[in-house]
A and B are shown apart, each in its own frame.
Chain A
Amino acid sequence: MRWPWNRNKELDEELEAHFRMAVQERIEAGASEQDALASARREFGNVGLVKEVTRDMWGWRSVETALKDVTYALRNFRKSPGFTVTAIVTLALGIGGTTAIFSLIHAAMLRSLPVADPASLYRIGAGYDCCEDASLQGQWGMYSFALFKRLKAASPEFEQVTAFQSYPWTLSVRRTKQERIARPLRVEFVTGNYFSTFGIHPFGGRLLSPDDDRTSAAPVAVLSYRAWRGIYAADPSVIGSTYLVKDKPFTIIGIAPPGFFGETLRSDPPELWLPLHQEPLIDGHDELLNVSWEGWLRVIGRLRPGATTAGLSARLTGILRQWLKTDSGYPPAWMPHVIRSLPQQTIQIVPAGGGVAQMKDEYGRSLAILLAVCGFVLLIACANVANLLLARGMARRGDTALRLAMGASARRLVSQALTESVLLAIAGGIAGLAVAYGADGLLLALAFHNSFIAIDTAPSPPVLAFAFGLSLITGILFGTVPAWLATRTDPMNALRGAHRSTGGRSSFSRNALLVVQAAVSVMLVAGAAMLAQSLGNLEHQDLGFPTANRIAIELNSLPASYTPKHLDALYRSLEDRLPQIGGVEHAGLAIYNPFTDNKGELIYTPGRPVSTFNENSVASWDGVSTGYLETLGQPILRGRGFTRYDTDATAPVAVVNQAFVKRFFPHEDPIGKHFGLDEPVNANTFRIVGVARNAKYTQPRRPALPMFFIPLAQHAHYQVKSMQNFELDHFINGILLETHLSPGAVEPILKKTLADIDPTLTIINVRTMRQMVAMNFDQERAVASLAGLFGIVALILAAVGLYGVLAYSVTQRTSEIGVRMALGADRASVVRLVLRGAFKRAAFGLLLGIPLAIGAGRLISSQLYGVSVWDPLALTIATGSLAVCAFLAAVIPARRAASIEPMSALRIE
């Protein structure tokens, strides 16, 4: 293979050899060296010219001709700025949208953590969820501290293994001497080797060490760079100062480096890292560290150089199963179920260079949908530009024909046309990068409101490479057909100036492109309508309580040292004082408000056999004040709600919801029946006094879970030690107000009232119930809005394309229309003629687009809520909007056609 850059050198050598032979022969014939040189040079002629003429023979691939093509293309762009700008803007929309989504996919899924050698990091366990329905994890991913130590000891392949809390908690934190009121910070408990496992160095001070991670060690903490800058104004004296975390003093020993946002990409990353062994100090009797069966830690290890993970998964799975059987510490009643499900319990080892890849799973499908949508918009954009090029190609037929007749090769014409389209596409790509940057900002704002997410959307090399590659492909895609058609020009016909011939192949391609555009935009609009409808269904569904005029307040946790007596007094004063705030009609207190938490326990009813334990044996629960259910608007259907007589002085009572009755008392009257938690001996703990209507407290997409409510002022008494956590866990995190006031109006008064009652009562946030519900659908809203936006862009592009073709065909057919009118056709029938053309194409588009839309609906059906894949409303919207677009696109050309004067039209002939 001869490469162009070798070819010049080779030519030099070839001519040099020629010259040497000429000189040598002359010397052999007896000439002096000087004469031989002079004579040979004379005979050879102008070396530079010889080279240049020879190089011309190398053809169109040479660099010089490529440059010539580029200048030719640029000259053409300058000659038709309207065309150029339209094409570039169209392409920028298509390429920009696609690049935007790609850059998010790259940032959220492909990028590595900013740590040392991310490739040697592996996560022990691929699962994310823990025990939602009290069943075992199956695909394990969360461990207790005891199990973590066991797994760590069995993984010598790892140089270091760290465990960290799966989800940061929001705790009240106050800097002593500087701050009077505590602020909520996100706190993550990690092992002492957390930072050294990731190979992270401090920005200031020092990071945690294994020596800090002991129960006896002085409590220390590491602050995130972002919190240090944002909250503490980059004050260097933060290092060494004392912070109260839930009223327990911790010394800040250092600041983490700027790019590090924890091991998991998430919105609102941790701001404070504490040693794992200080968890009991913070949580008191609620501590998790020494509870052998509580899965709350995730684990990442760094592989030793040269080691592999082969066999590790099987070994750890074996250890897990053995541990579950003998050391898990589950109550004896659970063991038959645990043993039965042992074969399904596995631990996988997965690469963790990108951190814990939870985002990938949560957002992967949404991003895939958006990428597909953008891809289709890009396709429509390509079709539009191809149509523009075709129209221009028709206009330049004479020019092309002349060049063909003068001996230009077809290859050369194609290469020129492709150079032009690729240049257009690259210009579109550059403009598209700007679009992408803006779109990413919009997308993140839609998906995460104003919460912070460490996603850097600034163009990075992979994103730039993607945009460039995409532009190139795009340019070839929309450039090929027009370029090929250009070479089909018959010089004779074209030169004869036959404007009447509409160019059979060309007009077929243009119509085919229009139909494809219409079909794809029908599909996109229908898909967007389905997503919007699904979002509407989710947001306006009956949750079981009204969402208007309700304000939910999330509180920082109260100090663990508060006794039940202390809490009772506190709650009573809250219940008395809160309704006195002007504008507040009702107030209620709860351990948690809807959509902020979920607590579940295993339910036992008297006489039920132990062996029936499974995921249908659990119910969620909440502890509430007497007025809470009334404030929320969750009606009591039978029996009674709680009263102020439900205290420790009386026997424990509970209110259950309909789903609870259905699951545990399917054929009985539940009022007066008993149930209990976790162990058969507890089966008689609670007496059911009322049945509340079903309400969704956790997952708005799923039916209401079985739930029971217990009064905050009543504590069931247990003999078993493991139940005492439950007995004492009556710390509220939620206040609910029924009021017409806005959160902004309530917050200052509320703050003051709370501070009057107890200064440790501090607010994390104040939101309306509507906001609480809407926050569950941020992702759906982002996808639906963007899909809608792109659907509209697609429609506009399709309409512009249709307009272009119609306007062009009216110009082409001026004389034909003139003849028709001269022969008696009235203006209405001319308008009909043009409109018919528009609607015929739209109809073909529909014919193709509706099956596509149904197919797309099937593909996204897992994302839809209460919308069938064959959704009449969505299809009607898509059909209607296409018809409107076709009409709008046809109006101007139709009016122009109707205003043709027969006489002047015929005179052009």
Chain B
Amino acid sequence: METGYKNRIELLQGTLDMLILQTLQWGPQHGYGMIQAIRTSSNDVLQVETGSLYPALHRLEKKRWLKSEWKQTESKQRAKYYRLTPAGKKQLLAEQERWWQMMKAITAIMGPAPSEG
């Protein structure tokens, strides 16, 4: 179980907000689900800490990009679900735009990623 977590890397400053928004664009999700989703989508590379996730969720909710409500999970447990607000969607688009620009710029300097050997 533990082996899969060994390759994780620290998230870049400021990218967590974007990842949360990105994860939520497919629909409402609770905190635990988001951590799992980010880990799965990143092939177990990105492991978001609870100590980073929850402050970020509460901050984004305060900025009114997210809205939260208590719902039942599939396994009949109560959990707090977050979903994107229209303002959150707009913010996500802006962040995506910025991210791709940044990626292009950094890739231009660093060159393409070496193939895994």
Binding site for B on A (CB under 8 A): 10-11, 13-15, 17-18, 20-22, 24-26, 29, 31, 39, 43-46, 49-50, 53-54, 56-59
Interface pairs (29), CB distance under 8 Å: A10-B80, A11-B54, A13-B80, A14-B31, A14-B54, A14-B80, A15-B54, A18-B30, A18-B32, A18-B50, A21-B33, A21-B73, A21-B77, A21-B79, A22-B32, A24-B75, A39-B1, A39-B2, A45-B51, A50-B51, A50-B55, A53-B51, A54-B54, A54-B55, A54-B57, A56-B55, A57-B62, A58-B58, A59-B62
Q: Considering the chains assembled together, what is the distance between the CA atoms of A516 and B102 in angstroms?
A: 57
16 new A-B contacts, CB < 8 A, other than A15-B50, A15-B54, are A10-B80, A11-B54, A14-B54, A17-B30, A17-B80, A18-B79, A21-B75, A21-B79, A22-B32, A24-B77, A25-B36, A45-B49, A45-B50, A54-B58, A57-B58, A59-B62
CB neighbours of A24 from chain B (8 A): 75, 77
CB neighbours of B33 from chain A (8 A): 21
Find out whether the CB atom of B77 lies under 8 angstroms from the CB atom of A57: no
B98 CB-CB contact with A under 8 Å: no
Knowing A17-B77, A17-B78, the reply to whether A57 touches B55 (Cβ < 8 A) is yes
Q: Considering the chains assembled together, what is the distance between the CA atoms of A56 and B57 in angstroms?
A: 12
Knowing A17-B32, A53-B55, A57-B58, the reply to whether A29 touches B77 (Cβ < 8 A) is no
Closest to B78 in A: A17
Closest to A30 in B: B1
B90 CB-CB contact with A under 8 Å: no
Q: Considering the chains assembled together, what is the distance between the CA atoms of A49 and B80 in angstroms?
A: 20
Knowing A18-B32, A22-B32, the reply to whether A50 touches B77 (Cβ < 8 A) is no
CB neighbours of B51 from chain A (8 A): 45-46, 49-50, 53
Find out whether the CB atom of B1 lies under 8 angstroms from the CB atom of A17: no
Closest to A10 in B: B80
Q: Considering the chains assembled together, what is the distance between the CA atoms of A26 and B36 in angstroms?
A: 12
Q: Considering the chains assembled together, what is the distance between the CA atoms of A46 and B31 in angstroms?
A: 16
CB neighbours of A25 from chain B (8 A): 36
Find out whether the CB atom of A50 lies under 8 angstroms from the CB atom of B32: no
Q: Considering the chains assembled together, what is the distance between the CA atoms of A474 and B36 in angstroms?
A: 54
Q: Considering the chains assembled together, what is the distance between the CA atoms of A499 and B2 in angstroms?
A: 63
Q: Considering the chains assembled together, what is the distance between the CA atoms of A187 and B73 in angstroms?
A: 83
CB within 8 Å: A-B pair count: 64
Q: Considering the chains assembled together, what is the distance between the CA atoms of A24 and B74 in angstroms?
A: 12
B59 CB-CB contact with A under 8 Å: yes
Indicate the member of A11, A21, A45 with the most B CB atoms within 10 Å: A21
Find out whether the CB atom of B77 lies under 8 angstroms from the CB atom of A20: yes
CB neighbours of A21 from chain B (8 A): 30, 32-33, 73, 75, 77, 79
Q: Considering the chains assembled together, what is the distance between the CA atoms of A702 and B45 in angstroms?
A: 99
Closest to A47 in B: B50
CB neighbours of B80 from chain A (8 A): 10, 13-14, 17
Give the 9 A-B CB pairs with smallest separation, nearest first: A57-B58, A21-B32, A57-B59, A17-B79, A54-B54, A14-B80, A18-B32, A53-B55, A50-B51
Interface string of B58-89 (1 = CB under 8 A from A): 11001000000000010101111000000000
Q: Considering the chains assembled together, what is the distance between the CA atoms of A177 and B6 in angstroms?
A: 110
CB neighbours of B54 from chain A (8 A): 11, 14-15, 50, 53-54
Indicate the member of A18, A20, A46, A59 with the most B CB atoms within 10 Å: A18
Q: Considering the chains assembled together, what is the distance between the CA atoms of A431 and B62 in angstroms?
A: 40
Q: Considering the chains assembled together, what is the distance between the CA atoms of A15 and B50 in angstroms?
A: 9
CB neighbours of A17 from chain B (8 A): 30, 32, 77-80
Q: Considering the chains assembled together, what is the distance between the CA atoms of A39 and B79 in angstroms?
A: 21
CB neighbours of A43 from chain B (8 A): 50
CB neighbours of A15 from chain B (8 A): 50, 54
Closest to B51 in A: A50
Q: Considering the chains assembled together, what is the distance between the CA atoms of A63 and B26 in angstroms?
A: 36
Find out whether the CB atom of A58 lies under 8 angstroms from the CB atom of B50: no
Q: Considering the chains assembled together, what is the distance between the CA atoms of A57 and B57 in angstroms?
A: 9
Closest to A18 in B: B32
Question: Nearest Cβ in chain A — how far from B77, in angstroms?
Answer: 6
Closest to A49 in B: B51
Question: Nearest Cβ in chain A — how far from B88, in angstroms?
Answer: 16
CB neighbours of A39 from chain B (8 A): 1-2
Q: Considering the chains assembled together, what is the distance between the CA atoms of A18 and B49 in angstroms?
A: 12
Question: Nearest Cβ in chain B — how far from A651, in angstroms?
Answer: 102
Question: Nearest Cβ in chain A — how far from B28, in angstroms?
Answer: 14
Q: Considering the chains assembled together, what is the distance between the CA atoms of A22 and B75 in angstroms?
A: 12
Q: Considering the chains assembled together, what is the distance between the CA atoms of A45 and B49 in angstroms?
A: 8
Question: Nearest Cβ in chain A — how far from B37, in angstroms?
Answer: 13
Question: Nearest Cβ in chain B — how far from A13, in angstroms?
Answer: 8
CB neighbours of B30 from chain A (8 A): 17-18, 21
Question: Nearest Cβ in chain B — how far from A415, in angstroms?
Answer: 16
CB neighbours of B50 from chain A (8 A): 15, 18, 43-45, 50
Find out whether the CB atom of A18 lies under 8 angstroms from the CB atom of B55: no
CB neighbours of A44 from chain B (8 A): 50
Q: Considering the chains assembled together, what is the distance between the CA atoms of A59 and B31 in angstroms?
A: 21
CB neighbours of B31 from chain A (8 A): 14, 18
CB neighbours of A46 from chain B (8 A): 51
Question: Nearest Cβ in chain B — how far from A144, in angstroms?
Answer: 75
